[in-house]
Amino acid sequence: MLGQRPSVQSLAEENWDLVVVGGGITGAGVALEAARRGKKTLLVEQRDYAWGTSSRSSKMVHGGLRYIAQGDIKLTRHSLLERERLLQELPELVVRQTYLFPIRKGKFPGRWAMKVILWLYDFLAGIRDHRWVPIMEVARRAPGLNRAGLKGAMSYTDALTDDSRLVMRALHEAASHGARACNYMEAAAVTPGADGISVQLRDVLNGDEATVKARCVINATGAWADRLSGADAKVRPQRGSHLFIPMERLPVSDCLTVMHPRDQRPVFVFPWEGRTCIGTTDLDHPDSLNFEPVCTRAEIDYLLELINSQFPQANISDADIISTMAGVRPIIASGKGVDPSKERRDHAVWGENGVITVSGGKLTTFRLIALDALQAAGLIDEDERERSETGGKAFSHAVAAPHRLGHPLAPMPEGEALREQLAWVLDNEMVTRLDDLLLRRTRLGNLLPDGAAAILEDVRALCMDKLGWDDARWQDELSRYQDIVQRYYSVAPRQAEASAA
Ligand SMILES: Cc1cc2nc3c(=O)[nH]c(=O)nc-3n(C[C@H](O)[C@H](O)[C@H](O)COP(=O)(O)OP(=O)(O)OC[C@H]3O[C@@H](n4cnc5c(N)ncnc54)[C@H](O)[C@@H]3O)c2cc1C
């Protein structure tokens, strides 16, 4: 377990083999792979674990059909093998899910092109899971799907997860191998020296500062990577947004891949934690990374346009949207100025003097990304990297989390089951602010209307009991949390955006 949040002074009393900066899936993966090799590891995160991109993805542990279509066989194969590994190692958190790809007359790809792609996709994963689904079965599985030109669908499988729970799971595993982690701890500067690397830490909650010493530093700060890398800028931040709507308004049991009528981009419509999730968009994100990204009015309209063209009877509107969620993808820029959707999704590792930066890539391949970063930092050699690529288990400790916490296909917990989940998280997961609990450790703020307003009294009692908050602290946390929900996750009136999604 993560234990108590340490003070910055206590962290400075120790010498570390490795300091990992960034508490998203990349940093958590690096900490896990280092700690299980006996390296004395510290991870620091400037906000909350998974506060960055790793709580805002499409939640798919997948090979990615788009990558195979782009001819990126290596990335697809690595992703598929990692998918299969995670399905085996974390069956409570990474769950196989059927996908349906509707095929329409005169539209690309047709049935046979999809069959070839899916044959290769399954072959690379070492499974055989795709099949043709006739039109009547599609109508049953996706009620209300537009029948115009519909010939049937290709069915295949990939996997879904809860991305921020996956980060927490990796952190718990790292901690069970002795790693320490601290949220709300910013790495303000990294300075290589003759006797190791100095990392200047600043406790964001109380302003305390101290310098810790490490043999190596891995900068795993995703979209923020250029700030600490000390090299030329490489990251092209791109925003992607999702909408959550009630399952009753758009019941889907498969993950549907449907084409947007405006630009023929594939968009997913899928079941997730008892709601229907729709996304994503793909846009350059020139806004400041000091603030949470927001799903713009233009993106909401773009996603509503998609859903109402695919499900014309559903009449989904703003009134149906429980919440929105925007994330910033750290894309390693090709420098060619191509359309955001066409940039490659590979990760990159660069740096020297013991300070290594890693950015880009996917949630799915976090373990392989971590191995690359550790090799670049000189903490493992090429032989070990190659051995680890296929062998060994990343997750070998049990975590006694409550049943179905973070299960992507479980219905919303209620009553005693919900209280049990919240109490466990408060006892074990370094919850520091109210939004940690409601937007990342659990997703209640995204999944229940008005930021889970209906259960906030129960949450208050639990926070007082478990975290020792008094009335003043609760009021402070509540107004901060409600402000965050209103600004970044709701469908509050937004300025009409000039840029189309
Ligand atoms: C819309 C969208 C959909 C996606 N869908 C998928 C998908 O379905 N499947 C998939 O495999 N991948 C998907 N991805 C990609 C995946 O989410 C990202 O590749 C991954 O989450 C990046 O993780 P990360 O740890 O590198 O970055 P982050 O999760 O952003 O973590 C970096 C962290 O570093 C912290 N930080 C920054 N500066 C400092 C500092 N100075 N000190 C301390 N901490 C600092 C930040 O606060 C942040 O929490 C998607 C991405 C987006 C945007």
**435-447 pLDDT, tens per residue?**
999 999 999 999 9
Domain ranges, ordered by start, for the chain: 8-54+164-234+343-390, 415-489
Residue nearest atom 37 of ligand 1, based on CA coordinates: 221
* 445 CB near ligand 1 (under 6 Å): no
Q: Over 90: is that where the pLDDT of 185 sits?
A: yes
Q: What letter represents residue 111's amino acid? A: R
* 329 CB near ligand 1 (under 6 Å): yes
pLDDT digits 0-9 by tens, 395-443: 999 999 999 999 999 999 999 999 999 999 999 999 999 999 999 999 9
Contacts of 224 (CB under 8 A, 6+ apart): 22, 52, 289
* 82 CB near ligand 1 (under 6 Å): no
| Percent of the chain topping pLDDT 90 | 88
Q: How confident is the model at residue 494 (pLDDT cuts 50, 70, 90)?
A: low
Which atom, in ligand 1's list, is nearest to the CA of 242?
1
Residue nearest atom 9 of ligand 1, based on CA coordinates: 60
Range list of β-strands (E), 95-208: 95-104, 131-134, 150-160, 180-182, 185-193, 196-203
Q: Over 90: is that where the pLDDT of 391 sits?
A: no
3-class SS of residue 149: coil
* 443 CB near ligand 1 (under 6 Å): no
- Region 157-162: mean pLDDT is 98
Q: Over 70: is that where the pLDDT of 497 sits?
A: no
pLDDT digits 0-9 by tens, 281-340: 999 999 999 999 999 999 999 999 999 999 999 999 999 999 999 999 999 987 777 777
Q: Over 60: is that where the pLDDT of 37 sits?
A: yes
Alpha carbon distance 62, 68 (integer Å): 12
Nearest to 150 by CA among 100, 109, 99, 105: 105
* 46 CB near ligand 1 (under 6 Å): yes
Q: How confident is the model at residue 493 (pLDDT cuts 50, 70, 90)?
A: low
- The token pair at 501 is 């999604």
| Whether the predicted model's global pTM rises above the 0.75 cut | yes
Which atom, in ligand 1's list, is nearest to the CA of 26?
25
Which of 33, 58, 81, 87 for mutating ligand 1's site (highest number of atoms within 8 Å of CB)?
Answer: 58
* 219 CB near ligand 1 (under 6 Å): no
* 97 CB near ligand 1 (under 6 Å): no
Which of 212, 238, 362 for mutating ligand 1's site (highest number of atoms within 8 Å of CB)?
Answer: 362
Which atom, in ligand 1's list, is nearest to the CA of 329?
53
Q: How confident is the model at residue 142 (pLDDT cuts 50, 70, 90)?
A: very high
* 311 CB near ligand 1 (under 6 Å): no
Which atom, in ligand 1's list, is nearest to the CA of 369?
26
Q: Over 80: is that where the pLDDT of 500 sits?
A: no
Alpha carbon distance 203, 46 (integer Å): 8
> What is the model's pLDDT at position 67?
82
CA of 469 to the centre of ligand 1 (A): 30
CA of 416 to the centre of ligand 1 (A): 33
Residue predicted with more confidence, 501 or 170? 170
Which of 53, 66, 299, 324 for mutating ligand 1's site (highest number of atoms within 8 Å of CB)?
Answer: 53
CA of 250 to the centre of ligand 1 (A): 29
Which of 171, 329, 358 for mutating ligand 1's site (highest number of atoms within 8 Å of CB)?
Answer: 329
CA of 141 to the centre of ligand 1 (A): 33
Write down the CATH number for the domain with range 8-54+164-234+343-390.
Answer: 3.50.50.60
- Region 18-47: mean pLDDT is 98
Positive or negative, the Cα torsion across 342, 347, 350, 356? Answer: positive
pLDDT digits 0-9 by tens, 208-255: 999 999 999 999 999 999 999 888 889 999 999 999 999 999 999 999
CA of 26 to the centre of ligand 1 (A): 7
Q: How confident is the model at residue 501 (pLDDT cuts 50, 70, 90)?
A: very low
Residue nearest atom 27 of ligand 1, based on CA coordinates: 222
> What is the model's pLDDT at position 227?
94
Residue nearest atom 50 of ligand 1, based on CA coordinates: 57
Mean pLDDT score across all residues of the chain = 94
Q: Over 90: is that where the pLDDT of 64 sits?
A: no
Q: Over 60: is that where the pLDDT of 40 sits?
A: yes
Alpha carbon distance 360, 331 (integer Å): 5
| 158 Rama sector, left if φ>0, alpha if ψ -120 to 50, beta otherwise | beta
Which atom, in ligand 1's list, is nearest to the CA of 280?
1
Positive or negative, the Cα torsion across 19, 22, 28, 33? Answer: negative
> What is the model's pLDDT at position 237?
96
Positive or negative, the Cα torsion across 171, 176, 177, 179? Answer: positive
Which atom, in ligand 1's list, is nearest to the CA of 360?
19
CA of 37 to the centre of ligand 1 (A): 24
